[in-house]
Structure 1
Amino acid sequence: MKNIFNNQRRQKAAISAFSINALHLRNPWVAAWWSAAFPGFGHMFIGNYIKGYIFTIWEFYVNINSNLNTAIIYSFTGHFDKAKAVLDTRWLLLYTAVYVYAIWDSYRSTVDLNKLAALADKNHPHISPFAINSFEINYLDKRNPWVAAVWSAFTPGLGTLYSLRTITGFYALSLWIITAYFSHIFQAIYYTAIGAFEQAAAAADPEWLLFMPSIYCYGIYGSYVHTVEYNKLFKLEQSRFLKESYQNRDFDMPV
């Protein structure tokens, strides 16, 4: 069976002990939008995880050094002079080119991967439903996408772990923990709950807080979409196995 998978010209999916990745049709504008919301998320959405990890780390590092989020907050509140004063143009000019590239590359890559997905479907590729090594077990099965979304709504990253992407799940969980810690969001929520609104406003760090909507929303959306697609992959593998292993019910039995 191993030779069958290795000899395929275009694989439909790859399953390892730590993750699942698959070719399927995606909207390139959705990928571009997520890259615009947070560079790296568009690439993670289409399965280019290494690029996605690097772009998200780059976003944190360069954004914070350029004080971009702080400038955005000043701009939203009408303090344009403060926004200009706080920006570090050395980092900002470096930020712009890579930001635009992340959007363009995620769109372009999605278009190319859609073509490959269509070709892979026509070749009727074999799909390995199970992977195991000394550290982990991973397998295709049917899961509820709403369960993935709910777990991500509680804490981004948990829904990704539920959808069988261990490395990406812990990476997303780490992003959320780091951002929540430095933004002091839970302190602000606590003060808000007891009615201490001035203390809540003073506790929150707006620069880090501005990262959180994109991370939170992508965690829910990404875990839901990937679970839906993995369910389709599970059905495809099952149907192909049944067709190859069992006789057609319309077969004429010999007399």
Structure 2
Amino acid sequence: MNNYTNDNTARRYKAHVSILGTTQLHLRNPYIIAWWSAAFPGFGHLLLSKYLRGYALFIWEVIVNTNANVNASMIYSFQGNISMAKEVLDTRWLLMYIPVYLFAIWDSYRTTVDMNRFYVLAEREEHRFNSFSIGALEINYLDKRNPVVAVMWSLFIPGLGQLYIHRILTAFFVIIWLVIFYYNSHIQEAVVFLFLGKVKEATAVLNPEWLLFIPSHYGFATYDSYMNTVENNKLFEKDLRNHLSENYQSKAFRILKGQKVK
């Protein structure tokens, strides 16, 4: 592959390969990104590789949600107990929760629109970028990987799919918070009771407030690993095609439009 580095000689780069992962610009649907922010603030920004903003919003969601008893209120709403759903809400925390929740949705949508524009400009500029990075701790390179394998590992344990495609920052963040959610929800203990046929004990030991965090966590890890595997494959194929064209294709080679090759 090439030996180019992102040395700020171009206005925009489509991608950057570092020992911590591959970050790239590509077209995204703003509504899908906004939907993930609505499902869990921070997820939309993590999909955009806006890590610091994503981490801040994610941690904010967990802290304020648990203190405002939002998940507990949702559980009572699912059970049809509306009066109890209202009673458990802590308005002191809830009034802080709503503005940041709306900001996460709006900002992820706005950022996606901007990044799509930058992608179009970077695609026209076609400046080369580094495709191989080696350091004392890690090696990362553009390669083709199987999206189905990424999904499979994400369904086993969220974060493993990200490790498979070398999204180190997202992988560690997802795995650490999965452990926190598992521990506080007692889901592992409930699974053991289910294996023993003790359904009542399994239900009693669960902490539903923390349990509600887990489905969206699994969904995000699966979607993120699949989507980024597909986009990394596209980036690899285009980079390899450019490399072969520049170094191995005859300078006299031409494709004439409208004429059949005999």
Report % sequence identity.
Answer: 50
Normalization by structure 1: what TM-score? 0.95
Which residue does 2:187 correspond to in 1? Answer: 185
Separation in 2, partners of 1:143, 1:5? 28
Which residue does 1:75 correspond to in 2? Answer: 77
The DSSP-based 3-state class of the residue aligned with 1:15 is strand
Separation in 2, partners of 1:3, 1:169? 25
Which residue does 2:159 correspond to in 1? Answer: 157
Flag as ranges the 4+ runs of structure 1 deviating above 3 A.
Answer: 1-5, 249-252
List gaps (5 residues or longer) in structure 2. Answer: 255-262
Instruction: Give CA deviations for 1:52-106 in whole Å, capped at 9, x if unaligned.
Output: 1111111111101111101110111112222122111011010000000100111
Residue 250 of structure 1 and its aligned partner are, at CA, apart by: 4.8
- One-letter amino acid matched to 1:245: N
Matches within 5 A, 1:219-238: 219-238=221-240
Match of 1:131 among 130, 133, 141: 133
List gaps (5 residues or longer) in structure 1. Answer: none
The DSSP-based 3-state class of the residue aligned with 1:81 is helix
Separation in 1, partners of 2:125, 2:24? 15
- Residues matched between the structures, number: 252
Separation in 2, partners of 1:239, 1:167? 29
The DSSP-based 3-state class of the residue aligned with 1:31 is helix
What root-mean-square deviation, in Å, do the aligned CA atoms of Structure 1 and Structure 2 show? 1.5
Separation in 2, partners of 1:232, 1:133? 25
Residue 127 of structure 1 and its aligned partner are, at CA, apart by: 2.1
The DSSP-based 3-state class of the residue aligned with 1:6 is coil
- One-letter amino acid matched to 2:98: T
Residue 5 of structure 1 and its aligned partner are, at CA, apart by: 4.3
The DSSP-based 3-state class of the residue aligned with 2:23 is strand
Which residue does 1:245 correspond to in 2? Answer: 247
Residue 194 of structure 1 and its aligned partner are, at CA, apart by: 2.3
Q: Does residue 1:94 correspond to 2:96, yes or no?
A: yes
Normalization by structure 2: what TM-score? 0.92
